[in-house]
Structure formats: structure tokens, C-alpha cells
Structure 1
């Protein structure tokens, strides 16, 4: 076989594997971080701040390439994750209400404890305490590729549990933003968003299986949410929830078709772009002792300590109370490692930092804590899960 054909074969194999998507995400994140701390920082800033405004969206619309990625393209990521969860709810590891309850309970615990940790560290400083919600959300965009890259060391049911927990976490985080950090709600736009949601739900209930009603309805919902003051990526969540889970015999379901269409776009374009745009944190003048200031220390401890304690504690409590069983094939060591990865908080955390602190100094301190806490959580979870024994493959009956 010629070297060119061998290279092409390796590229196809890498593109089809979860490791390939995780590698693309990591390289894009390192590229953004590297450019932000190099003589090319101006180039990175120019790319992120590239003017890209649509007049039809008015003043509420994204004005830069970076804003379009965070507020627009990331809706596709949330739609894909919701579709994957819907597939598991239809015929997989989340096919019963008790299995859905476990990641939801874990998400709630993983929000309450980090907030309390942050408040304990910043208590008495009114300005700093406004950032209590910064460490409460697990970043599904970064956590999921890390888990996928671990391959067979994470059981499929455990992977689904973490994916569901991360998306519940992000949804709850968006609700927190809307309730505590959101701008004034524009009620006519919110009414339009409610009508678009009803239209999408009606199409799903009627069994409409063609993609275009959901694409158009999701677009209308995105615009309405954008104007309403709520986070527009919720449109991807709603559209994914409304897709029918059944199809005619021998035909792929709308959920399967959505996964086939969205997965390559999200894996190879949306997530790498998002990583490149959001990891450009300047480390110039950064000193270790700066992490001991209340805001970065509160954020870092909230992510590294509060998230795993909250998620693990709530999950174990739910199992002890017999509310839900642990995911199949998930021993305590694997569960603990996944709880460590829950401390990767980036997307929603960065957004909350911008909303919580008007003063640039405090926002920069919060970003430093987010970066340090997320990196430590990713490293700790990765090392732990590489050290614990991989689960034994399931035996076939007979």
C-alpha cells in the first residue's frame, strides 16, 4: 500500500473514532491558549472579535465571530447531546424514570455544594460573593470528549450517566443565568419563544418526521430567545426534546438521522471552534499566589472539591434511598473518577463570570480560577480513570 493511501486510511480511522474528536478539541484549545500568550495574541483577538452582525437580528444579535460560536453554533452541540440522551431514554441506559433521576439528582448536588464552597471562601466580600454561581456547571463540551478518549475504561452506561448529568448541569446553569444574572426579560419575545416551543412540541406529538419543521422551528425559537434575554442555546435543547423517537419499520428514526447529521459537524467544527475561541486566556504576569485570592480560590475549590463532593454525595444518597440504581458496570472507583471530571467547568462558568462581575479585575480573577480548576479536574479525573482497572467486557448469554 502506498504511503498516501496509508495516510488516508489512518485519517479515516481517526475521524471515525471518539479519540479523533477529542484530539481535535484538545489541539484547538491549546492553539487558542498558545496564541493568546504569544506575539500572535493580536491575531487571535482579531479572529474572535471579527465583526459579524446580521441587521435583521437587531441589537440583540451576536456581533462577532466569537459570539456566533458561543451563542449560535453551540446550540447544535446541545441539540446533539439531547438527541443522544433521547436515544438512550428510548431504548438504552436511560430507559426508565429512575435511571433519568440519578444524573438529575447528581447535577443538583453538583450545583449546591460548589456554590456553598465558593460562598464560604468569599464570605464578607459582597462584590466577590456575586460570583457564587461560577463553579456550579459542568462543561459538557469539554467533559464528554475526555470521557470518550478514555474508551473502554469507562462503561457505556457510566458514559451516558455523565453525559446526562453534564447536560442537566448546563441546563440548570442556563436557568441560573436567566434568574440571577439575566438582563431584563423582553416579554413579547418570550411569548414568541413559547409559541415556537408549542409548535415544535406539536410537530413532535403529531409524528412529523421530516427535518425541516424542526430546523425552521428551532431557528425561530433561537431568534426569539435571543431577543427575550434568555440564553439562545436553549433552542437546541428544546428542538432535540421535540424530535419523535419512532419511525416506520425499516426506516431510521428522526433521532438517528439527527445524530448522523449533527455528529460530524459538532465534532469537527463546532467544538474545536468553541475551544479555540474560549481558551485564549492570557497568563502574562500570572503568579501562583494570585490563586489564593478569594475569587480565584473560591472558583478553583468549588470546581476541584465542591463538584466531585456534591455529585458523588448526591448520587450515593439517591442510591441509598433507592431512588435510582448506579449505572450498569460502574464500580465505585470509576464513579469517583467521573465525579472528578465534573469539575471541568468552562462554557457556562466563563459566561457567568462575565455576568457576575462588572469590574474587569474580578472577572479576570474568576477566569484564572476557572482555568486552573478545570485543568486540575481534567488531569485528576484522567489520571484516576487511567489507574483504576478497566471494566470487564459484558459476557454474552449462553
Structure 2
């Protein structure tokens, strides 16, 4: 299966970003639990224009990350894996299972409690981490598996965005929301008028972000809306969407996501942190990511294929899908992001981050070992033929 240049760039940037995220996470955890802890934590709480530095990162810089996710989703819809129903259905069904089943696990453990709002936490997949782990397998990975996991993760992020917009929205300030949507409408009109210059779209995106920030809906949603307002054209290297997407790859991969990791994995491990792992919220997150994700992705994929609603690519077996399902259990960035929206209690947020990190590491290692086995088996079978 031929990989487009931009998809290859996207895969490589996400792979490299995942490796950078791993390094930043380790650095942040070490600093947060060292003699430099107080100064390190205070740095992220430093106020700039009435907001902390971490708030600007989570509400500002992450909007740019969601803009890149939106541009990739737009490309997938127009000319990529999601451009035809036959190709799109498998990752869509898999992503649906990978969102519903983990949320169900968390809901079972936390129904009727103060932590049931965390049901969205295990629904998310970290694209960068998942593709970074997949890249460690080298050339043994079938191209269709790279595309499947990427499409799955992008759809998963779209699902997370919808969950944030619907379930993690506080009191709406309708006037600000309407202004933001009106700006979005103007940008769509510019698109229809075939305005290709990026400046009015970026300027409009900033205005849209500002009013969305003060509307009650999370400001990062404006990044996704802006992505779909930017002209796609025929998707070639001269198109506005391509130019912006190509430009954003490295800043997002090597600055925005690493900074987010540094700011949000500054987790102080309390003396009794092990005991918190058996609390309802922690169990819901762990079983959601480590069990619910691979179970939902693989079962929904297998059943839909058996019913002939979808079809696995010729070079994939269900074992590949199960392995990819475990990689889908690497929640990390998106799971932490939703945690910050779901809970207000700093102690509960800290506990959730700990179990997200542990679950993501265990899921990632399990997925890597399974895929290593299935890719080696598939390669040996091909050589025998």
C-alpha cells in the first residue's frame, strides 16, 4: 500500500514527538519528586495576565495541536483513509468500540459517585505515543497497520473533541459563543470565495479562539473548527491546508506537545500513592485503558468483519488489530487533558495522572510485544511462500 508523502511526514513527526514526550515525561516526573519540586511546580503556576502558565498551555497552545489534528482529519476525509465508506468504516467502527467500551468500564466502577465525570478519560488515544511505539517495530509493520492506527487515533481524537464539547462544558455564555461561530461562518464564506491567503484565516482563528475561551466551551474546539474552514483545494503541496499542516508538524511535535507533557506530568508521588490505585476512579481508568480499549477496538473490528460490514486489509490479521488496540490504550496527552476538564480537586487530578501514566506504559508495552510477535509471524509466513 502506497503511503503519501504528507502521511509519511505525519507518521514520522508523530513518532519523533512520541519519543520527545517520553523524555519530557521522565524529566518532569524526576523534577517533581526531587529537591527542586517546589520551584518546578511554582513555575507552572506562575501567573501571566490573570492565568497560570499551565492554563495558557492547556487552553492556548493545545488549540494549535487540535488545529493540526483537524487538518489531518480533513485530509483523511477528503483524500485519505476516510475518503470512501469502504475504507473508512473499519477504523470508524474500531474507534467507536475503543471509546464506548472504556467509558463503560469507568462508568461501572464510578456510577453514582463524585468521580463518574471521569468516564471520558479512558476514551482517548495519544497519537504521538501510539505511533512512536509502533515505529519501534521498524519495517516489519505493514503499511496498512500504520494507516489503520493513524486513522483510528484521529477519529478517536475527534470523538474526544465531541465529548469535551458536549459533556465538559460549563455555563454557556451564548453571546460569546455566537460571536465565535459567526467568525467561523465568515471564514467558511472566505473559503467558498476561494480566498487562499492564510492571514485572514489565522487572524479570524485568533478571534474565534478568544470568544470561544470566554463562552464556556473549551477553547481548543476553535482549533478544529478553524481547520475545516481553511481551504483544502485538491490537497497538493500548493494547497493552503497542506502548507499549514506541513508547517505545523515540527512546532507541534517538538515544542507544543513536549511543553504540555512537562507542565502536566509534574506529578508528585505521595507516600500512599500505591493505595490510590485501588480507588474506583483509578480502577475505572486502568481497566478502561488497558482492558476496555483493546477489547472494544478488536471486538468491534472482528464482529463487523464477520458480518461483512467491514473488511480487514489483506496484510492484516485480527492479532494486528488486538495489538493496535493495546496501543490505543496509551491515553497520555488526551487522557490527561480530559482529566483537567473532568475534575477540580488537585489531589484527584494528581491520582488520575498517576494511573494514566501507569496504564499507558503497561498498554504500550503489551501492544509492542503482541505486534512484535504477530509481525514476525506474518513475515515468516510471507517468506515461506
Confirm whether residue 314 of structure 1 aligns to residue 300 of structure 2: yes
Mapping 1:311-350, distance limit 5 Å: 311-327=297-313, 329-350=315-336
With the length of structure 1 as denominator, give the TM-score of the two structures: 0.83
Residues matched between the structures, number: 368
Work out whether 1:111 is the aligned partner of 2:89. no
Q: CA offsets per residue over residues 89-145 of structure 1, 9 Å max, x none?
A: 44333331332333333222222111221222235x522334333222223343343
| Residue 109 (structure 2) aligned to one of 102, 109, 121 | 121
Q: 1:158 aligns with which of 134, 138, 145?
A: 145
* Match of residue 282 from structure 1: 268
2: CA distance between counterparts of 1:381 and 1:152?
A: 17
Q: Distance in 2 between matches of 1:156 and 1:68?
A: 37
Shift of residue 291 of structure 1? Answer: 1.4
Instruction: Go from structure 1 to structure 2 and tell me whether the alpha carbon gap of 1:328 and 1:253 turns closer, same or farther (over 3 Å shift).
Output: farther
* Aligned equivalent of 1:212: 199
C-alpha spacing 1:227/1:157, structure 2 compared with 1 (3 Å): farther
- Relative to structure 1, the CA distance from residue 287 to residue 78 in structure 2 (aligned partners, 3 Å threshold; closer, same or farther) is closer
Aligned to 2:9: none
Shift of 1:45: 1.1
Other-structure match for 2:252: 266
CA distance in 2, matches of 1:308, 1:93: 21
Q: Cα 1:103–1:272, aligned 2, differ >3 Å: closer, same or farther?
A: same
Flag the 1:172–1:20 CA change in 2: closer, same or farther, 3 A.
Answer: closer
Once the two structures are superposed, the pairs formed by residues 16-55 of structure 1 within 5 Å of their partners are: 20-53=16-49
1:234 aligns with 2:221: yes
Equivalent residue, structure 2, for 1:64: 52
* Worse-matched range after superposition: 101-110 or 224-233: 101-110
Shifted more, 44-53 versus 90-99: the winner is: 90-99
Q: Which residue of 1 aligns with 2:90?
A: 102
Aligned partners of 1:18 and 1:149 also within 8 Å: no
In the alignment, structure 1 residue 73 sits paired with structure 2 residue 69: no
Cα distance change of structure 1 residues 149 and 71 upon mapping to structure 2, 3 Å threshold: farther
Q: Which one of the candidate residues 344, 348, 352 is aligned to 1:366? A: 352
Shift of the 136–92 alpha-carbon distance from structure 1 to 2, 3 Å rule, reads closer
Is it true that 1:387 corresponds to 2:373 in the alignment? Answer: yes
**Which of 175, 178, 184 is matched with 1:188 structurally?**
175
Whole-angstrom CA distance in 1 between matches of 2:177 and 2:314: 41
Cα pair 2:125 2:328 within 8 Å, conserved: yes
Query: 1:375 maps to what in 2?
Result: 361
Q: TM-score, normalised by structure 2?
A: 0.85
Q: 1:151 to 1:92 in 2, by over 3 A?
A: farther
Matches within 5 A, 1:134-173: 134-173=121-160
User: Aligned to 1:347, what secondary structure does the other structure show?
Assistant: helix
- What's 2:6 paired with? none
- TM-superposed CA distance for 1:216, in Å, is 1.5
Q: Which residue, 230, 237, 246 being the options, matches 1:243?
A: 230
Match of 2:243 among 231, 250, 257: 257
**Conserved 8 A contact 1:153-1:385:** no
- Using a 3 Å threshold, how does the CA distance of structure 1 residues 47 and 360 change in structure 2: closer, same or farther? closer
Cα distance in 1 for partners of 2:210, 2:31 equals: 33
Distance in 2 (CA, whole Å) between partners of 1:259 and 1:181 is: 28
**What's the CA shift for 1:328?**
6.2
Deviation at 1:66, TM superposition (A): 1.5
Residue pair 1:200, 1:217 contacting (<8 A) in 2 also: yes
Does structure 1 residue 302 correspond to structure 2 residue 298?
no
Change (3 A) 1:204 1:321: farther
- Cα RMSD over matched residues? 2.7
Unaligned runs of 5+ in 2: 1-11
Change (3 A) 1:222 1:158: farther
